[in-house]
Chains A and B, each alone.
Chain A
Amino acid sequence: MANTSPSPSPSSEGRILQFPPFQSLVDDGFWRRLSALKLDTLRTDQSPIFISGFYAPCSHSSVSNYLALHSESLPSDSNMESPLERVRGNRNKCPIPGTLLNTNTLESFRSLDRESLLKAEAKRILEDIYSGRAEEDPSVLLRFLIISFADLKKWGFYYWCAFPALVLDPPATLLNLKPASEALNSDEVVSLSAACNEWRNSSVTTDVPFFLVSISPNSGAILRPLKDWELCKDEGQKVLFGFYDPCHLPTNPGWPLRNFLAFISLRWNVEKINFFCYREKQGTADMRLSLVGEALVSPPSAWRDPECIPKAVGWEPKGGKLMPRFVSLAESMDPERLAVSAA
């Protein structure tokens, strides 16, 4: 790992804060639903479709979580016209807004201007940060994009997901990163763990992936929604910026922190950010897997310009290369093949 990475070794102070790419899992049901939509409703219409992806905090120390697309990610026939209706999630499926661009031909899929698409999404994220919308509905910080071409003659699907991240220039500097169980005192660990479980067990907050942790001088921790920032700040308590971390690595925070750092520094002008990567084991808070870190962030001055098109990254790599994925459902969807295998 070290010899392919341009950064200094992980142990050194003040290294560049690095994030492993977010990953997608698009299931069989998504493609079946898209095929039905395409055949029955969309036909040749190539307009963007508003969809929902789902993710959850990492819950096993050996595998990262991913953003999943299921059949219910796509609109049902009845709600094609009201895409803004918030999809109901649960603790294991926090809904994230996304956009699907499904093209009619492989050529138009190929010729999509992916850089512009990514920048346009990043621009929307920046706007949501400025407007305060991200404070009300933090899931917009994880806005994603999927482009696809559905070859319904061969039941093959070409697709490519992007998780747009605003690029900080210079990149954030990592000052500290430790398991929460080491970074906090034992009273704080117990209190924070209980506060996280309470947040996760409440149907109101369970699928809200970004939050504030305020820790009082007597080590009592509570979790609060982002819109409580002004209150937290004025109370003079220790504040950690928390998020549901899909990543399992003990050495790095997950991708969602990227836009969260941009949000915190732009919206609230905080430069030295104490963040909290919330992770679980067997569905409950685990303070040895969760991380607490400290990063120095300075947002590019260009972002202050309302007309700014921010630099962004986020097209999902496949096997180390930036290229689309392909899945064939011919065996399970092609009526001819099904007839043959049933005979």
Chain B
Amino acid sequence: MALKQKLYESYKSTAERFMGVRTNSAFKEKGVLSVTEFVIAGDNLVSKCPTWSWEAGEPSKRKTYLPADKQFLITRNVPCLKRAISVEEEYEAAGGEVLLDNDDNEGWLATHGKPKENNQEEENLPSMDALEISKENKGGIKSIPAYFGGEEDDDIPDMEGFEDSDNLAESDPATLQPSYFVAHEPEDDNILRTRTYDVSITYDKYYQTPRVWLTGYDESRSLLNPELVLEDVSQDHAHKTVTIEDHPHLPGKHASIHPCRHGAVMKKILDVLMSRGVEPEVDKYLFLFLKFMASVIPTIEYDYTMDFDLGSTSN
């Protein structure tokens, strides 16, 4: 693992230990959330999008500043039918890519955005400045060895010996034999198959923003190696903003979209809304946030109902 990332993580966790928790609201001024606001926004997300739930997580990892039963949010078994990398190619071919940027060329790409001719309307949308973390992290992910042991048949040559000779399921007429049961089906082409993700949102005390974590599974429900998770991240962000770190509430390492610029981007989104006469309410924060995250993970089909006016239709 890159030494710089390690140092940075240990600095951050030490700093978090001594930092107070934000108690006053600054979401309009800085795009950040207090702990109470995170819980309010989370409650609203769970109520409007019931595929999301609060969870308590590992008792040993419990944060005392959050309610015991509301440590983080999670939605499981979210389909990801295409790789982001292949979707981007389609968009480029169709000329339908939108650069959410007004000052430089390193902004966020809205891969699910509008066709190019509408670009002028997007002027007011927020930009995402070049991420500082990118310099520290470049190549960091690659240097981590295949972190998760997958289900690799090569390691267990004796598994075939387990196979039942009296195959009850196959002789049971009421068991559907799906097409993937057919022996000739290749087992190593899971790139093109449906993946599923557990997407979780934690509160990052240091950056005072929500933070998204991704746990991917292949079609046979085996954990995906983080290298493969990167295929489902918009390629502009894959090697810059996604890091592999310990999950604050779950066991093991997971891919996460680094929150170092979340506050600034959320602030810009809120500024745009306010400039259009929409008064942002803090309980809508996570809907905006998840919409923003959809530009990073465009093909992971999690729910974020937009039940309010973004002000984008005003002429």
A, B bound: yes
With contact pairs A23-B221, A76-B59 given, residues A326 and B151 touching in the complex (Cβ less than 8 Å): yes
B303 touches A283 (CB 8 A): yes
- Check if A29 sits within 8 Å of B159, measured CB to CB: no
Q: Is B167 an interface residue (CB 8 A)?
A: yes
CB-based contact B50/A283 at 8 Å = yes
Chain A contacts for B117, CB-based, 8 A: none
Which of A92, A321, A327 sits near B149, CB closer than 8 Å? A327
| B144 lies within 8 A of chain A by Cβ | yes
CA gap between A341 and B156 in the complex, in Å: 24
* CB-CB nearest in chain B for A197: B50
Q: Is the CB of A62 within 8 A of B194?
A: yes
Contact flag A171-B173 (CB < 8 Å), given A63-B79, A284-B50: yes
Q: Is A320 within 8 A of B182, CB to CB? A: yes
- How many whole Å from A271's CB to the nearest CB in chain B? 17
On whether the beta carbons of B162 and A324 are closer than 8 Å, the reply is yes
Q: How far is the CB of A102 from chain B (nearest CB, A)?
A: 17
Tell me whether A32 and B252 are in contact (CB under 8 A): yes
Q: Is B77 an interface residue (CB 8 A)?
A: yes
Whether B291 is near chain A, meaning CB under 8 Å from some CB there, is no
Q: Check B174–A18 contact: CB distance below 8 A.
A: yes
Cβ contacts under 8 Å, A63 to chain B: 77, 79, 194, 196
Q: Looking across the interface, which residue of chain B has its beta carbon closest to that of A23?
A: B221
Verify if A13 is at the interface (C-beta below 8 Å from B): no
Using Cβ atoms and an 8 Å threshold, which residues of chain B touch A93? 53
Interface flags, A313-343, vs B, CB<8A=1, else 0 = 1110111111111111111100000000110
Closest chain-B Cβ to A291's Cβ sits at a distance in Å of: 14
In the complex, how many angstroms separate the beta carbon of B275 from the nearest chain A beta carbon? 30
Known A4-B181, A315-B169; contact A342-B145, beta-carbon cutoff 8 A: no
Tell me whether B301 is interfacial, beta carbon within 8 Å. Answer: yes
| Interface class of chain A by DSSP | mixed
Assess whether B176 is in contact with A317, with CB atoms less than 8 Å apart: no
Q: Encode B242-271 as 1/0 by CB contact (under 8 A) with A.
A: 000000001111000000000000000000
* Smallest beta-carbon distance A282→chain B, Å: 5
- Among A65-73, A180-188, A209-217, A226-234, the stretch that binds chain B is A65-73
- The closest CB in chain A to the CB of B163 belongs to A323
CB distance from A341 to the nearest CB of B (A): 6
- The number of residue pairs between A and B whose CB atoms lie closer than 8 Å in the complex comes to 172
- Classify chain B: how many residues form its interface, as a range: 35 or more
A322 touches B175 (CB 8 A): no
Proximity string of chain B (14-51) to chain A, C-beta cutoff 8 Å, 1 when within and 0 when not? 00000000000000000000000000000000000111
Docked CA distance A318–B163 (Å): 10
| Nearest-Cβ distance from residue B274 to partner chain A, whole angstroms | 29
- Given A60-B78, A313-B172, verify A323-B305 contact (CB < 8 Å): no
Shortest C-beta distance, B244 to chain A (Å), equals: 11
Total number of A residues with any Cβ neighbor in B under 8 Å: 72
Cross-interface CB contact of B152 among A71, A317, A328, cutoff 8 Å: A328
A322 contacts B149, CB within 8 Å?
Answer: no
Interface residues of A in 2-61 (CB under 8 A from B): 4-7, 16-21, 23-25, 27-29, 32-33, 59-60
Is A270's beta carbon under 8 Å from chain B? no
Name the residue of chain B whose CB is nearest to the CB of A63. Answer: B79
Q: In the complex, A332 Cα to B148 Cα: how many Å?
A: 6
Cα distance A171–B171 when bound, in Å?
12
Nearest B residue to A316, CB-CB: B169
- Asked if A167 is at the interface of the complex by the 8 Å CB criterion, the answer is yes
- A320 with B77: in contact, given A25-B221, A90-B53, A341-B144 (CB under 8 Å)? no
- Cross-chain contact A322 with B251 (CB below 8 angstroms): no
Distance (whole angstroms) from the CB of B224 to the closest CB of chain A: 12
Is A200 an interface residue, CB under 8 A from the partner?
yes
User: What distance in Å separates the Cβ of B249 from its nearest Cβ neighbour in chain A?
Assistant: 10
User: B76 at interface (Cβ–Cβ under 8 A)?
Assistant: yes
Distance in angstroms from B215 CB to nearest chain A CB is 8
The answer to whether A1 has its CB under 8 Å from any CB of chain B is yes
Residue of A20, A29, A342 near B251 (CB, 8 A) is: A29
Instruction: Let me know if A320 and B185 touch, CB within 8 A.
Output: yes
Question: 8 other contacts beyond A28-B223, A284-B50, with CB at 8 A cut-off?
Answer: A20-B178, A21-B175, A25-B77, A29-B252, A115-B168, A172-B174, A282-B49, A320-B180
18 A-B contacts (beta carbon < 8 Å): A16-B174, A18-B174, A23-B221, A63-B194, A66-B221, A71-B58, A280-B51, A282-B49, A282-B305, A284-B50, A319-B180, A319-B185, A320-B180, A320-B181, A323-B160, A326-B159, A332-B149, A342-B6
Q: Which 10 A-B pairs have the closest CB atoms?
A: A328-B149, A283-B50, A320-B181, A18-B176, A283-B51, A322-B164, A29-B251, A20-B176, A171-B174, A63-B79
